[in-house]
Structure 1
Amino acid sequence: MPKHLISVRDLSKEDIDLLRHLSKRFRGGERETLEGDVALFFLESSTRTRLSFEKACRLLGLRTYYAGRGESSIEKGESLRDTIKTLQALGFRALVLRVPFVLFPYEGYKGEEISLINAGDGTHQHPTQGLIDLFTAIEVFGSLENLKVLYIGDILHSRVFRSGAYLFGLYGAKVGVCGPKTLIPSDLSPFGVEQVFDSVDEAIEWADLCIWLRLQEERFTESYIPSKESYFLQFGLTKERYKRLKGYFMHPGPVNLYVDVDAEVVYLDKSLVLKQVEMGLYVRMAVLYWALKDG
């Protein structure tokens, strides 16, 4: 039976440790070979996730076939379930999918004979990005026990937060959030959040690791902020705030310059942005190998 990765909550700590071990092996130059075809099904635009998955497949010997927005029968009203059945009938071993809707409840998908790997579904989950952030933090900090991890920005719409907060909590970190009240969920209890900050200046004094998030305007159903300029002044990583960071900062990308982060600090010494990108290739290789090696 093939393995699926739709939500980080389906992974045991043993699974996560194995994925980290595999990613370290691949990063160290070891290679394993798999056979078969993988469909990359991206109904939302992507640079890092799409290309790192495609490169990961090819480094593992897998053939890739890509369908983007406007290139599938979903546009004609076909259901995702029918699309999955079609790809399965065509002999694909895995489907890597990024979709604007939420795959929930997703229990029904687990019986499929094609491995389903979630590359981001709506505001629900982005499991590989959560793993990337977790493994990057472990590499930088070592133990995450009692590490103070702060998510800043559009918490409400962030699948990165929903994936990462759970994983950091699993490894003993303390999770906090900061952002406009309009962009913080009313109930944070499912995510293990211990601190909620109104002031980003107060929040960065608390945090060891700050994760800035993108404003997801494509998901806005109302006006959540007065303006991008005021949002940056209130919550963005300015040059002055960068100097006061106790540790490091991350951003899952794409970075909206002068909305999330000042352009002059994106790649400075306290930035883990490119380390996250580099880690992304090996994490996605590990996930594909984990899902398909016994299939």
Structure 2
Amino acid sequence: MGWSRKDLLHIEDLPAKEIQLILNTAKPMKEIMSRAVKKLPTFRGKSVYNLFFESSTRTRTSFETAAKILGADTSSLAVAQSSLNKGETLLDTVRTLQAMKPDLVVIRHSSSGAAQFLAKELKAGVINAGDGQHEHPTQALLDLYTMQERLGSVEGRKILLVGDILHSRVARSNVWALKNLGAEVVLVGPPTLLPTEIKSWGVKTTFNLDEELPGSDVIMALRLQLERQQSGLLPSLREYSQLYGITAERVKKTGKQTLIMHPGPVNRGVEIESSIANSSQSVIEEQVTNGVAVRMAIMYLLLGGGTAHVVD
């Protein structure tokens, strides 16, 4: 199967075959990362611009590393210090970018739909690195890759997403991706952090983590944005940790060698007990490595790689 899309904007309408193509393409990319010389000539002369309107060291660095290994030239625009502070609009930025003739633009923005707007205006390919509370497709794809690598397949597997579902674009993208590949998804969190539209997602939701632990193959704790506690959505971080924190005692209740995941950065002692985050069941560090491989695969396909065959 070839690749015909110009952009990767969201997971919701991405067919299972295309998701699997990305994951299959990531396998040889991960092998390249283990070589002594981590550099391909594949896209020498191609340019990738990272356009981050929100700070995110992990995601931005991951995309930069992926582009460099593929041989592309990379530029990161420090938008927070740019002329946007002087009243420049996103459309003005698009026009400036267009004049630079990029091949690929990676965007993170606080407004849902910003990546889609950029894709309509730019000739270059666009990758959504997170838009508002909408989606974070590359995070879901790296999470899927990590699960498949460890479990073989997610079909029929019980996956718990625990925490701040309401504000989590990671949760939304993971729900679409996991459902698409046949997983049983359960969303767990306090009532104030579950969105009202959640019924339309077609997955189980619950306030009770302990009831859902037995038989779980994966527990993914979501980052708790600590400002939620100040805004009154949580009574206290201590109470949240008692009800939804991933502890050694809770992990034992699954009855399995359950994978422990987190999109990062982790609030240790709140979302996950440190002993669990550092345990053999935790794949949090693997998620970071796999993130580079998956982003390499996406760039490879969007920049004209076409199939899962990698050119050395």
Asked whether the two chains share a fold, i.e. TM above 0.5, the reply is yes
2:49 corresponds to 1:39: yes
- Matched residue, 2:18: 15
What are the within-5 Å matches in structure 2 for residues 1-295 of structure 1? 3-29=6-32, 31=40, 33-34=42-43, 35-103=45-113, 106=116, 109-110=119-120, 112-193=122-203, 195-217=204-226, 222-245=231-254, 246=256, 247-293=258-304
Distance 1:256 1:275, change over 3 A: same
Change in 2 beyond 3 A, CA 1:219/1:232: closer
Distance 1:105 1:43 in 2: 11
Deviations, residues 52-93 of structure 1 (Å, cap 9, x unaligned)? 110101001111111235222222222223212211211211
Structure 1 pair 259/196, CA: closer, same or farther in 2 (3 Å)?
A: same
- Give deviations 1:140-197, integer Å, cap 9, x for gaps: 111222111111000000000110110000110011111100000122234331x222
Partner Cα distance (1:44, 1:218) in 2: 16
Is the CA contact (8 Å cut-off) linking 2:115 and 2:131 kept in structure 1? no
1-structure distance, mates of 2:89, 2:302: 24
Change (3 A) 1:100 1:107: closer
Structure-2 change in CA distance of 1:97 and 1:221 (3 Å): farther
8 Å CA contact 1:149–1:210 kept in 2: the answer is: yes
Q: Counterpart of 2:267 in 1: which secondary structure?
A: coil
Give the 3 Å change call, closer, same or farther, for CA 48–91 of structure 1 in structure 2.
same
Shift of 1:268: 0.5
Give the Cα separation in 2 of the matches to 1:26 and 1:292.
Answer: 15
Partner-residue secondary structure (3-state), 1:285: helix
TM-aligned CA deviation for residue 231 of structure 1? 0.7
Q: State the shift of 1:43 in Å.
A: 2.1
Aligned CA distance change for structure 1 residues 105 and 266 (closer, same or farther; 3 Å): closer
Which residue identity lines up with residue 52 of structure 2 in the other structure?
A: F
Equivalent-residue separation in structure 1 for 2:63 and 2:284 (angstroms)? 18
DSSP 3-state at the match of 2:127: strand
Report percent identity of matched pairs.
40
Distance 2:120 2:250 in 1: 44
Supply the AA of the counterpart residue of 1:185: P
Contact 2:219-2:260 at 8 Å conserved across structures: yes
Which structure 1 residue ranges, 5 or more long, are not aligned?
none
- The change in CA–CA distance for 1:218 and 1:39 in structure 2 (over 3 A counts) is farther
Q: Any conservation in 2 of the 1:23–1:286 contact (CA below 8 Å)?
A: yes
Deviates more, 1:238-247 or 1:180-189: 238-247
CA 175–277 in structure 1, closer or farther in 2 if over 3 Å, else same: same
Q: Which secondary structure state, in structure 2, belongs to the residue aligned with residue 106 of structure 1? A: helix
Offset at residue 223 of structure 1 (A): 1.2
Q: Which moved more, 1:144-153 or 1:64-73?
A: 64-73
Q: Deviations over 1:201-254 (max 9, x none)?
A: 112125221110011245789311011111111111123223334311110000
1:100–1:54: structure 2 CA closer, same or farther, 3 Å change rule?
same
Preserved CA contact (<8 Å) 2:228 2:234:
no
CA distance in structure 2 between the partners assigned to 1:22 and 1:159 by the alignment:
24
Alpha-carbon RMSD: 2.2
Q: Secondary structure at the match of 1:205?
A: coil
CA deviations on 1:29-52 (whole Å, 9 max, x unpaired) are 284611322111122222321111
TM-score, with structure 1 as normaliser: 0.92
- State the TM-score, normalizing by the size of structure 2: 0.87
In 2 relative to 1, CA 125–212 (structure 1 residues): closer, same or farther, beyond 3 Å?
Answer: same
Structure 2 CA distance, aligned partners of 1:215 and 1:255? 9
What SS does the corresponding residue of 2:196 show, helix, strand or coil? coil
